[in-house]
Amino acid sequence: MNALPTDHFLNRELSLLAFNERVLAQAQNTSVPLLERLKFICIVSSNMDEFFEVRVAGLKERAAIEPHHTTPDGMTAKQTMHAAEPRIRTLIDKQYEILNSDILPKLALEGVRFLRRNHWNEAQAAWVRAYFFRELMPVLTPIGLDPSHPFPRVLNKSLNFAVELAGRDAFGRSSGAAIVQAPRSLPRVIQMPEEIAGCEYGFVFLSSILHAHVNELFSGMQVEGCYQFRVTRNSELFVDEEEIKNLRDALKGELSQRNFGDAVRLEVADSCSTEMIDFLLGQFGLKHADLYQVNGLVNLVRLMQIPDQVDKPELKFLPYLPSTPAALSKFDDIFSVIRKGDVLLHHPFQSFQPVIDFITQAAADPNVLAIRQTVYRTGTDSQLMEALMRAAQSGKEVTVVVELMARFDEEANINWAGKLEQAGAHVVYGVVGYKTHAKMALVVRREHNELRRYVHLGTGNYHARTARLYTDFGLMTCHDGICNDVNEVFTQLTGLGSATHLQHLLQSPFSMHTGMIAMIQREAEHARAGKPARIFAKMNALLEPKIILALYEASQAGVEIDLVIRGACALKPGHPGLSSNIRLRSVIGRFLEHTRVFYFLNEGAENLYLSSADWMDRNFFRRIEVAFPILDPRLKKRVIAEGIKPYLKDNTQAWEMDDTGTYTLRRPRRALPISAQASLLTSLTK
């Protein structure tokens, strides 16, 4: 395939910013309950933290090392940063405006107030003072800046205060500045007793308490200014996997340094003095382009705890109870159910409990001889990991492929790897140079003097909490061909040997890319022959250039293509002469869209795959991934009915993208309002 002109691609970083703009629109949407709108504010902040820690940090490195390198859209790293900066500033300004001018005033009317220090009454001020001396003063360590006390190491994303001082201390020193670091053990938002707050839920910020009493830390000196600030650092880990002998030990050493990577962003309160701003920028080696002055807390993510502390159901999404497939609810033995037919689970509308049961029953079943499972993200508290440990302790052969390089979950995975090894499980870390991202579990069971395999394959992680927040599909089957393929992938991960042909699964880095392109090209051939041709693909991101080229060529051949891409997308839909038959939308709602569904009409055969992989370079070439087919006609109809059709009909939460990368929210107009997620909640939950 020949390379396309650069103007046929959109920029990845700008596309990610567009995604966060769509998330922020949820915070602005008055039909969303108030406390949920607050959560979306926090989600945007969390997303932007990662954007700076990973994407901006990477751009800065690329600009320094390879200044002339361009991405498929033709932009250098410096050009991308220049284009992104005004978008970022507009996004952040709008975020604080929505919070301060809309959400917080409306919460106050509902009895949820954030009490600012310039509005404290006498009783509130007294309570704050007592709290300061009881809870804060004993753990705060003010650091005066002078030749004996250099500027302290500031942790990534930690809350800090820069203090301007006048006068001399007990030793006659007059440095003029000090730094106060807020210990991470302290809560950033403190609930005040109702009788003191004067409202049902009254909260005070840690920053407000410290601002009010910072003078207590500098006896005899005059505090002329106190400003909260926060530094975001490069959080990418560098481990030379070719040179190390033990990946886990090397990663432990690297994790300790993540909090002190190169600074990429400085956030300060908008009241911060120009002198202090210049001083802080100099300390962190940053420029004014890296400075973000905000009207409020420098870390809005800390507000995520508020909805859990406020018992006001009317300000939250309606609760729901995930259902369980009828076949599973009728029988206790999950293996007998799977033998009768494949089981499809659609989370979060259907419970994640059957996945837990699959492993816990295997761990307790005396007929189960072996369990193999991949672990990418599973959380710090996991019933699945506990079950695997029990299985190993009982003498079963337990093999766990733990991905130690799962970004921001490295520490949890290191801890689980150690616990699993202590329990007697075989723990491996996949293949050097490739992340193991496939979601697979395999159980080997003795039945009637024969060994039978059972597998679970999923589009999402083995993580019970995120299974309530992300949309994902999971398949449980004992289909011989699929089980043999899964066993072969595990053999590759744990042993050595050449890749073999898989009968049903597509696998990265071997067959998934070529397999997907072949199916796209087959639809194009059908269209050229005058046959109906159709492609549907739903995923988190679409960036890989050759896949995009194949989709363009299919569109030009007459294939009707619908794409549902949650986040970053480099493809230009609906461009005359290039992609006229491609329609692209992004659905943003209560749940994070996480399912990957790939459908090809194939003259009515309807090839349908689910996967943990997006159409990105990393998923195709630098990860161990699988795409698994849905072979049962009954389940295939379910995936089409639940994972495809509702998303194409959605006219309330679907954003349609044009060939400039601009998104427009669909409106129902004359048609009835339709939300994919709401319809699935109605049809699948209790």
DSSP class of residue 281 equals: H
Q: What is the rounded distance in angstroms from the CA atom of residue 280 to the CA atom of residue 228?
A: 11
- Write down the H helix ranges in 148-200: 194-197
DSSP class of residue 524 equals: H
Q: How far apart are the first and last CA of the chain?
A: 50
Backbone phi, psi, residue 247, to 5°: -60, -40
437 classed as catalytic: yes
Query: Which one of 437, 463, 513, 526 is the catalytic residue?
Result: 437
Backbone phi, psi, residue 611, to 5°: -160, 165
DSSP class of residue 425 equals: -
CA 623 to chain centre: 17
Pairing state between β 112-114 and 201-205? parallel
In sequence order, which residues have a C-beta less than 8 Å from that of residue 230 and are 6 or more positions away? 157, 158, 159, 160, 266, 267, 268, 298, 299
Q: What is the rounded distance in angstroms from the CA atom of residue 210 to the CA atom of residue 313?
A: 32
For residue 627, how many other CB atoms are within 10 A of its CB? 24
Q: What is the rounded distance in angstroms from the CA atom of residue 21 to the CA atom of residue 15?
A: 10
Sort residue 86 into left (φ over 0), alpha (ψ -120 to 50) or beta: alpha
Q: In angstroms, what CA-CA distances link 363 with 392, 413, 488, 490, 672?
A: 8, 20, 22, 19, 49
Q: 85 and 188 in contact (C-beta within 8 Å)? A: no
Q: What is the rounded distance in angstroms from the CA atom of residue 155 to the CA atom of residue 261?
A: 9
> SS3 breakdown of the chain: % helix, strand, coil, rounded to 5?
45, 25, 35
Instruction: State the catalytic residues.
Output: 437
